[in-house]
Structure 1
Amino acid sequence: MFSLTGQEISHFLFAMGCLLACAHLLGFLAEKIFIPRVIGEVAAGLVLGPTLLGHFFPGAFQWLFLGFESEPKLFALLYQLGLLLLMFSSGLKFQTHFSKEDAKITSALVIGATIPAFVVGWFAAGLFNITPYLGTANNPVAIKIVIAIAIAITSIPVISKIFNDLGIMHTRFAKIVIACAGIHDILLWVALGLATAIASQTGVITVGSAVQSVGISLAFIVGTLLLGYLLFNKLTIIKQNLLFRSSNLGYFLFIMFMLASLAGNLHVETIFGALLAGVVAKLALPKAVSERVDQGVSNISFSWFIPIYFATVGLQLDLVKHFNPLFFLGFLLFATLTQTIAVYVTSRLIKLDPLTSFNLGIAINDRGGPGIVLSSVAYASGIINQEFFAVLVMLALVTSWIPGTWLRIVVNKGLRLMPGDENMTPIKREDIVETKTIN
């Protein structure tokens, strides 16, 4: 009942191995030229997918990834697991300790980086003809919400990776950016839940149904954070918790799957459950335990599932047949300017200097993983079609590239990221490893 033939297993393992190897290779090469790894991983899907291999050698592409009936479903399963683990990892990077001044700055940026950008995106979507980009759900309201989210969203995983690579994760600047990204992404996932709920309705959309969808999402967030915090605090590190004692990582993966399942049954996106599982673990557990979980999840996720997820995103793109470069450039310029201006103006209003304000505007513009997740969910829900799916993925990739390049210039020139980081010395991962080895 649960078996595959030996030939099917061999075929799938070969195809997956090729995709995984290509994702790691191109991700590694991307990092060598100071490009975020995610760009190389998605590029692996472009190389082996319809954009290149499928365009020049369609038979080879069909044989490799559509070789037997259930092969696409196997890749779909890995894709979903990678997506859940990406969101869980994002939650584990949530920031929990702030000074009073940093909390004020973060709160101002959450409001200033989210509301204006979202509102501008919403009204801009109404000014342009979005009909050619509607998905199978054929719902203009849902696609307007997705466009607004695409303008305002920020990536925790990619911007964290950039900070780690530059050795500035310990700075005040990094802490504020990651906290801002985490909080306002949670708010935007609520909006995405509303969009998918609206898209799934076949009848007339009412205010009541919209309020109900948002209410369920908010109740799920509050309930998970409160109840999860209490349970994690009281029941995790006790002698009677045999599952935690038998496997720390297995215990938290179990929690993640259960919350994701609960979210799906409540018609909230499953990724929401995975994200909140990570957030609760970071908030409720001792630092040493949450860091150990983060390391364990990262080891398995970023070596297999997450690269496969990003590469599979690339497999779904056909930039030869379903991509409008001129529309993309216009959308990229509009999205980048809107988000940067919103953050810059907010920063200046709270008395931050021009360079700090610009640094924050560029960093918070990084859409990265969440931008790709947004496009994946919206495409799978029928909100957008393949052309706009490609636009949103490319938007996420390009806006991941810009912050890495700019912040590298700032660090290399010895410029200040923000007040409090004047005497900042970059601490890179290899320095930490070397120090531990010496000690």
Structure 2
Amino acid sequence: MFSLSGAEISHFLMAMGCLLAMAHLLGYLAERIFIPRVIGEVAAGLVLGPTLLGHFFPDAFKWIFLGFAGEDKLFGLLYQFGLLLLMFCSGLKFQTKFNKEDAKITSALVIGATIPAFIVGWLAAGWFNITPYLGTANNTLAFKIVIAISIAVTSIPVISKIFNDLGIMHTRFAKIVIACAGIHDVLLWIALGFATAIASEGGVFTVGTAVKSFSISTAFILGTLFLGYVLFKRMTVIKQNLLFRSSNLGYFLFIMFMLASLAGNLHVEAIFGALLAGIVAKVALPKVVSERLEQGVSNISFSWFIPIYFATVGLQLDLVRHFNPLFFLGYLLFATLTQTIAVYITSRTIKQDPFTSLNLGLAINDRGGPGIVLSSVAYSTGIINQEFFAILVMLALVTSWIPGTWLRIVVSKGWRLMPGDEKIVPRKRNDDDTFKTINYPAK
């Protein structure tokens, strides 16, 4: 009970070590050539998975990753931990403080980047035959929602990493884009929860199903934000909180797991609980505590669980047998133009200049981690099949590449990102920063 044989443990550790090492190696090489790290980490799964190793040496692939009964479930467990921690870290990057003008711009962009893109994505589902891409749930309504989300979704983790790498995280532009992405994605995760709820109902859609799903999601969000804020604010740093005193990080991980478990039991999606846990911690805690929490979670998450998550996504892809390059190119062009144009028009409507509007359009078009999360959840719940799963993952990767390259050019040329960011000096983070401790201020 609760045990594996010595041979099974040794085999799993070898397989996990190879996958982790390849993810870090290719992630590092990707960053050296100015490509977002996530692309290299997913590429690790492509190299060691069915796309390359499994195609040319299928027996070697099966021996490494399917070497004993249950090995796939062990990778599945690490995959889920990585997914939860990715969403928790995303919540910890949520922006909360704005002046009146920035709040106005952010609100306009959230509306302009979400509603038009979502509607166009929904309508697009009727323009091509979706039957070949349906998953085991065989639910066209859920599939249409996933397509709409894939057009409108934005990545907090990847765009934040791009801003950090370029040394522009302190800019007004970065603050607005990250805030827009955060609010934007919360709304889209509600839609994803609705899609998975419909899929789990066996394809039956009624007004009662819609009302129930919306009510549960709304109640969970508002309840978590309100009660979480009050409890975090009042109970975290008091002397009676023995769990927090014994382990700061352990305390917050406990909260994240409990909220994720509650969300899963309510059919809201466990990842949503992890995201809200991060948002509440960011909003309710003193800045020095939230920064220390983010550093602690990031150290373990981005060194182990999250690279394994992205690499495992790559392991599930078979681009040789389950990928249509022509369809992907068309979908990429359609998704990129739809999102970028929607943001550009919104930005121009609120009287931003053309270059600022272009910068915002390309940055918000970054789908990155959330795009991959969308594809993972939709695939695991049977809404989409493996071929469309590959399309969505590749869409997330390529649309992460575009803004990274463009913003690097803008910064290197000394061009203004947006009004208020004139003469910005990039603040590059040293590689050793992650090993520095954050001390609490003296009382």
TM-score, structure 2 normalization: 0.97
Q: Do structure 1's residue 10 and structure 2's residue 10 form an aligned pair?
A: yes
Is 1:86 aligned to residue 47 of structure 2? no
Between the aligned partners of 2:41 and 2:420, the Cα distance in structure 1 is: 35
> How many aligned positions are there?
436
**Offset at residue 432 of structure 1 (A):** 9.6
Worse-superposed segment, 295-304 or 424-433: 424-433
C-alpha distance 431-57 of structure 1, shift in aligned 2 (>3 A): closer
Mark the runs of 5 or more structure 2 residues left unpaired by the alignment. Answer: 438-443
User: 1:284-340 CA distances to partner (integer Å, 9 max, x unpaired)?
Assistant: 000000000000000000000000000000000000000000000000000000000
- Determine if the alignment matches structure 1 residue 61 to structure 2 residue 61: yes
Same amino acid, percent of matched pairs: 84
Supply the AA of the counterpart residue of 1:208: G
Residues 389-419 of structure 1, C-alpha deviations (whole Å, 9 max, x = no match): 0000000000000000000000011100000
User: Aligned with 2:430: secondary structure?
Assistant: helix
Unpaired runs of 5+ in structure 1? none
C-alpha distance in 2 between matches for 1:69 and 1:204: 35
- Match of 2:441? none
The answer for the alignment partner of 2:295 in structure 1 is 295
Please report how far the alpha carbon of residue 423 of structure 1 lies from its aligned counterpart in structure 2 after TM superposition: 1.6
Deviates more, 1:203-212 or 1:261-270: 203-212
CA contact (8 A) 2:157 2:368 kept: yes
Amino acid at match of 1:42: V
| Partner deviation per Cα, 1:252-279 (whole Å, 9 max, x = no partner) | 0000000000001111100000000000
Please identify, of 395-404 and 425-434, the stretch whose mean Cα deviation from structure 2 is larger: 425-434
* 8 Å contact kept, 2:198–2:204: no
Amino acid corresponding to residue 428 of structure 1 in structure 2: K
Q: Give the match for residue 22 of structure 2.
A: 22
For 1:418, the equivalent position in structure 2 comes to: 418
**Does the 8 Å CA contact 2:138/2:203 hold for their aligned counterparts?**
no
1:230 aligns with 2:233: no
Give 1:118 shift: 0.2
Q: Following TM superposition, by how much is the alpha carbon of 1:433 offset from its aligned partner in structure 2, in angstroms?
A: 5.1
Which residue does 2:71 correspond to in 1?
71
CA RMSD of aligned residues (A): 1.2
Q: CA offset at residue 98 of structure 1?
A: 0.4
CA distances 1:20-39 after superposition (whole Å, capped 9, x unpaired): 00000000000000000000
SS at match of 1:250: helix
C-alpha change, 1:432 and 1:99, in structure 2 (3 Å) is farther
The equivalent of 2:188 in structure 1 is 188
After TM superposition, the structure 1 = structure 2 runs for residues 161-240 of structure 1, keeping only pairs within 5 Å, are: 161-202=161-202, 204-240=204-240
Counterpart amino acid of 1:21?
A
Is the contact between residue 328 and residue 391 of structure 2 (CA under 8 Å) also seen in structure 1?
yes
Q: 1:102-130, CA deviations, whole angstroms, 9 ceiling, x for partnerless residues?
A: 00000000000000000000011112110
In structure 1, the partner of 2:51 is 51
1:318 matched to which residue of 2? 318
The offset of 1:131, in angstroms, is 0.5
In 2, the alpha carbon distance for the partners of 1:152 and 1:25 equals 31
Deviations 1:363-386 (A, max 9, x none): 000000000000000000000000
Letter in 2 for 1:13: L
SS of the equivalent of 2:333 reads: helix
User: Secondary structure at the residue paired with 1:127?
Assistant: coil
